[in-house]
Amino acid sequence: MTKCDKFVIAELAEILARFQLNVKQVEINHEIPGSFWGESEAGLIGQTLYVSEDTPLHSALHEACHYICMDQQRRNKLHTDAAGDYDEENAVCYLQILLSDHFSMSSKAQLMQEMDEWGYTFRLGTAKNWFEKDAIDAQIWLIKDQVIDNNDQILWQLRHN
């Protein structure tokens, strides 16, 4: 499983800065502020994503994608629970898969496998099957809200609504 070691954290900070999201590293084995799931899972408070060197990359990307996909009103009050509805959750999963290709230590295939191992559940059984065969609604949601374009290219901006 790809962890947020120092190199990944540096890449994460560089990539997420394009979305005005800060990354703050927490000492390993310390409580991660804003973590909904606890343990080593990433946390969100305001414009800051908290991770430690044992945070799985999929966790960091998932929480970051919630930040990207939520509306500004929710961003303004963000503390721990990103909330969001079913459609946003699907969009978050789709976007985190797209973002994974921007890391030197990850890829879409690797991230989807790690999502399956962690316990993400999809109608078609695996993240790969969902992404390739059943995620058109998530893709349309991201296009409509100007997060990606029609070619799955990330537009490097927050949701407009």
Quote the CA–CA distance of 42 and 52 in Å, as a whole number: 8
Provide the token pair at 70: 């939520």
Which tens digit of pLDDT belongs to each residue from 132-145? 999 999 999 999 99
What is the chain's length? 161
Quote the CA–CA distance of 105 and 118 in Å, as a whole number: 18
Strands 48-51, 22-25: pairing kind: parallel
Which tens digit of pLDDT belongs to each residue from 63-85? 999 999 999 999 999 999 998 89
Rounded alpha-carbon distances, angstroms, from residue 20 to 27, 46, 137: 23, 11, 26
Which tens digit of pLDDT belongs to each residue from 88-120? 999 999 999 999 999 998 999 999 999 999 888
> How far is C-alpha 44 from the chain's CA centre?
11
Quote the Cα angle for 50-154-54, to 5°: 25
Query: Where do the domains of the chain lie?
Result: 6-76, 86-144
